[in-house]
Amino acid sequence: MGHTSLDKIIALQRNPANIRNLCILAHVDHGKTTLADCLVASNGIISSRLAGKLRYLDSREDEQIRGITMKSSAISLHYRNGDQEYLLNLIDSPGHVDFSSEVSTAVRLCDGAIVVVDAVEGVCPQTQVVLRQAWLENIRPVLVINKIDRLIVELKFTSQEAYTHLQKILEQVNAVTGTLFTSKVLEERAEKKKEEETESETLSGEQVYDWSAGLEDTDDSHLYFSPDQGNVVFASAIDGWGFRIQQFAQIYRQKMGIKAEVLLKTLWGDFYLNAKAKKIMKGAQAKGKKPLFVQFVLDNIWSLYDAVITRRDKEKVEKVMASLGVKVMTRDSRHSDPKVLLSAICSQWLPVSQAVLSMVCEKLPSPLDIATERVEKLLSVGARRFDLLPEQTSSGSSKPRPGIPIITSEQLGCSASDCAPEVPHLSCCSMESIYLLMGRELEELEEVPAGNVLGVGGLEEYVLKSATLSTSPACPPFIPLNFEAAPIVRVAIEPKHPSEMPKLVRGMRLLNQADPCAEVLIQETGEHVLVTAGEVHLQRCLDDLRDRFAKIKISVSEPIIPFRETVVRPPKVDMVNEELGKQQKVAIIHQVKEASQGRSSDTLHVDPTGLVTLNTPNKLTTVSVRAIPLPAEVTCLLESSSELIRTLEQINMSLREGKSLDISLKTLESIAGLKAQLETLLQGRKWRNAVERIWAFGPRRYGPNILLNNVEGYQRPSVWQCLDRVGEVGAQAALLRDFDNSIISGFQLATLSGPMCEEPLMGVCVSVERWDIQASAAPQNQDSLDEDSVSHEALANSAVEGSRETCAKVEGTEAVPSQTKRRPEAASADYRPVSGQLIAIMKEACRHAFQAQPQRLMAAMYTCEVMATAEVLGRVYGVLGKREGRVLHEEMKEGTDMFIIKAVLPVAESFGFADEIRKRTSGLASPQLVFSHWEVISSDPHWVPTTEEEYLHFGEKADSTNQALKYMNAVRRRKGLYVEEKIVEHAEKQRTLSKNK
C-alpha cells in the first residue's frame, strides 16, 4: 500500500466487484477513531482524527462546495490483497449515542460495517444499538476486539485468563446477533403460519398442529462472529497491532508443517497440542492443557509486552526482533517511552491495517452483491407495495443490468414537463458537480460509476435532510432512516446583534439541512428553536452554528425540556399511605367545581363521575365527554406504532376521498396486528368493543391518545375500515355526520396542549358520550360545502382563531328556519361559525374532562449506564440521588473489578450530569445516557392536604418540595402562563438580642 493517487482511485471506481463501501461502528470510548487513523495512515494519507469532523456542509465560501452534505467523515483508500486491488470507501461515524442518527446515515450508504468492541468493557448499550442499526439496514458486519493491551497492562491478566475473557466477549456479541436473528425468524414463522391457516380453511381433512418455531431448520452459522470464519480481528489499535488467526495459521504451517486448514479449525476452541503424539487433541479445558490460541498466539504477545513494557529487557527485545525479522529505527529503540518501541515492532510484525483491510476485502460484500431483500425494503414505504411499482423501477432494482451505469455532473437534469404532476414532493434539478470525498479534501470528478460513495453539489435549494435522486420520476423515495436517538432537548436562539438575524436564519437553515437529527422550528412568538438529541449533540450544533454556518455571536436560552400531561386512576391511599375515605373524593370534586367557577354555569356542567357537558354559546350544540386513563401498555404500544398509525390515517383519508389504493399485504398485516394487540390490552367491562369504536388518534392524528365514539346511535366508519373487504367505500363515507371532522379537530387541539402547562397529552382516552346539534345549526346546502373536503390540518390550525371571530356572529343572529330558501353563499357562511364553535367547545370539554380526573405530569427519562470501580460507587449513587435518578440494578462485570450501574434519570436533571460524575469520580466513571421512555411523576402538582393525617405530616401550608409542581411552574413561567406564587413584599429580619459566645 502506498500513497493513494486520484488517478488510481478513478481507475478502481470502474471495477465495482472490488469496491467495498464500509463504515466503522462502535461505542464512543472503544477506540474507533484510533483504528480509523491506523487504516488511513497505512494508505499514505495523514490522518486528521476523522470521527465527527465532517458531519455537515463544507464551510468554504465556494457555492458549489456548500451544496454538498456530508454525513460523518468519508475517505477513499486503495488496498492490495494478494493479486487483487480494492477500493475502500470508508465512513467513520461518530460513536456518541447523541449522534446515532449519523450512524443510521452511514449504514444506509454502506454494504458492510466494522464493529469495534473494547476488550475490557465488552458489549455496551451503544454496541447493541449499532448492531441493531446494521441489522435493520441488512448490511454485513465484521468484528474488531480492540484494546487487548488493557488486559495486559491494566488488568494484569495472564494469557489464559485473557483467552477466557475474550471468549465471553464473543458470546456477548453473538447473543445480540442471535436475538435479532431469532426475532426475524419468529416473525417469518408467524407469517407462514397465517398463510397455512388460510389454506387449511379451504381444505378438508385432519388438522395437523406444528408447534416448532422454525429455528431448528434455519442456518444461522454465517451470521455469527467466529475467529475460524475469518470475521474477527484481535487488536490494539493504540499500539498498532492486530491479527486474524489466519495469519498465525500461515506462520505455524511453515514452522511446524501442520496443514493451514487444520490450524484454522483448531486455533480457536478447546484444542491443545500433544507434543509427544504430534497431534492436535480436543478437551484442553478438561485436561488442564493450554489451548492452542493461548500457546501459539497470546503467549507470544504477552512475552513481547513483558520484555518491552514491564522489564525493558534490551537483550530479550533484540532476540525477539531477530526472530520476527523486524528492524526498528535507532531513535525508536532509544526512546524514553517503551510504547514507542512496542508500536514500532508490532506495526511491522502484526500491522492492524493489514488484518482489518484483508478481512474487509474477503468478508464484506461488493455493491454488486446487494441483497434483493434490502432493495425491496428500501423501496417499500408505508402502504406502498413493491410489486406494484412502475415496471422500470421494480424490474431495474431487482435484476442486475449489464454494463456499468455512470453518473455524470450533467445528469438528473429534467424539465418541469418531464415530471409527473401527480407525484408529490417531486422536484426537478440538475447536479452542478460531483466530488470524491477525501477527508477534509474534495476532489471534483467528471463522472462516477455506480457503486461508489460520492458528494453531490448544487442541491442546496432542493434537499432538506435527505432525498432520493433519480433520472426517472417513476422511482419512489427510499424508506426513512432508522433513528435510535430522538430529538428531545430544545433551546431558543437569537443573535447578539439584532441586525444579524438574516445570518442566523440562513445558518439555522444550513444546520437543519446538514444534521439528520437536528430540527429547527419557528414558534408562534417568532422565536427560533433548535431541537437536538442530547446535551453533547446540542453543544456540537451550537458550535457549528457559531463557527461554520451563521458565523455570528448568538444568545442561547436555557434548555427547554418537554413534558407530557396525563390522567391516572384515583389513588387508593393518601400522601402518608393512609387509606382514603370519602373525604378525599369530595375534596377532589370540590376543587374541580371551584376551578370551573367563573364560567357561565348554563354552558358547563361537571357531574360527580367526571362527565363534562358543554354547550355552544348559542345553545345549538351540546357535547358530553369523559377522560379515561389508558393502560400503560396501550400508551407504549401507540407511541411505538406512530408511523403505522400515520400510514393508517393516510389510507383512511384516501378511502374517504374515494381514491383507489393498492395496500401492501405486509402493511395490512401490521395494521391487523396493532388492532389485535389493542383488543388484547383493552380488557374489561368499560373497554368492551372499544377498539372498534375508536374515532381518531391524537395529537396530529397519530399520537398516543384515543378519541372514542360512545354516542348512542351514531355508527360511523371504523378507523380499521381498510381491513374490511366488504362494502363500498362511498357508502361508508356517507355515514359520517355533519361536523364529524370538527369533533376530531377539537380533540386534536386539546391533546396538543393540555390544561396543566400547555404540553401535549399522553395516555388519555376521551370518550364522547353525547353530541346533539339542533336542526337549525346544520348546513342547508350540502352541495356548497362538503365537510370531508375541509383540510384537517388547516382546520386544526385555524380552529381557535375561527371560533373567536365567528362566535359573535352566531350569537347575534337568530336561527334561520329550515324551510327558508337561502343562497349557497349564505349557507356556507352559517356553516363555518357552527363548525368553529363546535371545535372550540370540543377542545374546552376535553380540557375540563381532563381536569375532572387526577392529573399528573410525565417526564422524559434517560436510561443511564455507568461503569465504575468499587472505590467510586458511592459517589456515583450520590450524584444520581441528587438529580432524582433511580437505580434499577447493579452488577459486577465478570473477570474485572468494574461495576455496571443501570439507572433512570429525568432529562430535566441531566444537564451537567456527565461532567459532575467525572469530577466526583476523578474521571473513573463515565455515564451513557439514552432517551428511553416517558414516566409519570407520582406526585400531584395540585395536591393540598385534605385529611387529618396529611395535615399532621405536612402542615397546613404543605410547603415541602413538590417535584411535579416545580416542573409545571417552570414550564408555565417560560410560556408566560399564570403561576400561583406567594411573594413576600415586606418583611422584617428576626434579630437575636445576644451574641453567640
Give pLDDT tens digits for 609-628.
889 999 888 788 899 999 99
DSSP 351-382: BHHHHHHHHHHHHSPPGGG--HHHHHHHH--T
Per the structure block, which three cell numbers stand in for 926?
463515565
* 891 and 845 assigned to the same domain: no
- Report the CATH number at residue 507: 3.30.70.870
* 684 and 625 assigned to the same domain: yes
654 pLDDT above the threshold of 50: yes
User: What is the C-alpha separation between 824 and 782, in angstroms, rounded?
Assistant: 9
Lowest mean pLDDT: which of 536-540, 661-665, 929-933?
661-665
673 pLDDT above the threshold of 70: yes
* 516 and 386 assigned to the same domain: no
- Average pLDDT of the chain is 78
* 670 and 608 assigned to the same domain: yes
- The pLDDT of residue 161 is 92
* 627 and 666 assigned to the same domain: yes
Q: Which residue has the higher pLDDT, 329 or 61?
A: 329
Percent of the chain with pLDDT over 90: 29
- Report the CATH number at residue 918: 3.30.70.240
Indicate whether 784 belongs to any domain.
no
Q: What is the mean pLDDT of residues 282-299?
A: 89
Number of domains in the chain: 5
* 73 and 182 assigned to the same domain: yes
User: What is the C-alpha separation between 208 and 88, in angstroms, rounded?
Assistant: 52
- The pLDDT of residue 335 is 87
* Burial degree of 463 (CB within 10 A; 0-12, 13-18, 19+): middle
Query: Cβ contacts of residue 903 below 8 Å, gap of 6+?
Result: 863, 864, 865, 866, 880, 885, 886, 887, 888
* 958 and 864 assigned to the same domain: yes
Per residue in 129-187, pLDDT (tens digit) is 888 888 888 889 999 999 999 999 988 999 999 999 999 999 989 988 888 877 766 66
Per residue in 26-35, pLDDT (tens digit) is 887 888 888 8
Q: How would you label 124-162 residue by residue, b for 16+ Cβ within 10 Å and e otherwise?
A: bebbbbbbbbbbbbebbbbbbbbbbbbbbbebebebbeb
* 12 and 35 assigned to the same domain: yes
Residues in the chain, total:
997
- The pLDDT of residue 712 is 87
- CA angle at residue 703 from 697 to 709, to 5 degrees? 15
Q: Of 330, 350, 370, which one is at a domain's C-terminal end?
A: 350
- The pLDDT of residue 408 is 56
Per the structure block, which three cell numbers stand in for 117?
468492541
Indicate whether 868 belongs to any domain.
yes
Q: What is the mean pLDDT of residues 893-917?
A: 86
pLDDT band at 816 (very low <50, low <70, confident <90, very high): very low
Helix (H) or strand (E) holding 588: helix 582-596
pLDDT band at 577 (very low <50, low <70, confident <90, very high): low
Taking alpha carbons only, the member of 834, 736, 839 closest to residue 776 is 834
Indicate whether 456 belongs to any domain.
no
Measured from the Cβ of residue 303, the count of other Cβ atoms closer than 10 Å reads 13
3-state secondary structure 772-840: EECHHHCCCCCCCCCHHHCCHHHHHHHHHHHHHHHHHHHHCCCCCCCCCCCCHHHHHHHHHHHHHHHHH
Q: What is the mean pLDDT of residues 921-928?
A: 83
Highest mean pLDDT (candidates 96-105, 500-509, 803-812):
500-509
Q: Which residue has the higher pLDDT, 195 or 917?
A: 917
DSSP 309: I
Taking alpha carbons only, the member of 804, 793, 693 closest to residue 752 is 793
Helix (H) or strand (E) holding 435: strand 433-438
Q: Which residue has the higher pLDDT, 781 or 5?
A: 5
CB 458 within 8 A of CB 432: yes
User: What is the C-alpha separation between 113 and 643, in angstroms, rounded?
Assistant: 27
Indicate whether 255 belongs to any domain.
yes
- The pLDDT of residue 774 is 77
What are the residues facing 85 on neighbouring strands?
80
* 587 and 551 assigned to the same domain: no
- The pLDDT of residue 617 is 81
* 368 and 236 assigned to the same domain: yes
Indicate whether 118 belongs to any domain.
yes
Helix segments in 902-956, DSSP class H: 913-920, 948-954
Is beta strand 855-869 parallel, antiparallel or unpaired with respect to 926-936? Answer: antiparallel
- pTM for the whole structure: 0.74
pLDDT band at 391 (very low <50, low <70, confident <90, very high): low
CB 596 within 8 A of CB 586: no
Q: What is the mean pLDDT of residues 660-675?
A: 82
Indicate whether 294 belongs to any domain.
yes
User: What is the C-alpha separation between 534 and 953, in angstroms, rounded?
Assistant: 39
Q: How would you label 982-991 residue by residue, b for 16+ Cβ within 10 Å and e otherwise?
A: eeeeeeeeee
Give the structural domain span for 681. 570-723+733-774+835-853
- Report the CATH number at residue 669: 3.30.230.10
- The pLDDT of residue 789 is 33
- The pLDDT of residue 403 is 44
Lowest mean pLDDT: which of 505-514, 818-827, 890-899?
818-827
* 171 and 67 assigned to the same domain: yes
Percent of the chain with pLDDT over 70: 75
Indicate whether 959 belongs to any domain.
yes
pLDDT band at 220 (very low <50, low <70, confident <90, very high): low
Q: What is the mean pLDDT of residues 391-415?
A: 51
Residue type, 478: F
Q: Which residue has the higher pLDDT, 846 or 191?
A: 846
Indicate whether 181 belongs to any domain.
yes
- Residue 363 region, left (φ>0) first, then alpha (ψ -120 to 50), else beta? alpha
- The pLDDT of residue 628 is 93
Lowest mean pLDDT: which of 429-438, 563-572, 753-762?
429-438
CA dihedral angle for residue 721, residue 723, residue 724, residue 725, rounded to 10 degrees: 130
Q: What is the mean pLDDT of residues 651-662?
A: 79
Helices 391-398, 372-379: crossing angle, 10 deg rounding: 150
- The pLDDT of residue 86 is 92
DSSP 937: -
Helix segments in 905-962, DSSP class H: 913-920, 948-954
Residue type, 477: P
599 pLDDT above the threshold of 50: no
Highest mean pLDDT (candidates 78-92, 279-293, 346-360, 915-929):
346-360
Helix (H) or strand (E) holding 928: strand 926-936
Helix (H) or strand (E) holding 648: helix 642-656
User: What is the C-alpha separation between 909 and 886, in angstroms, rounded?
Assistant: 12
* 230 and 362 assigned to the same domain: yes
Number of H helices, E strands in the chain: 31, 29
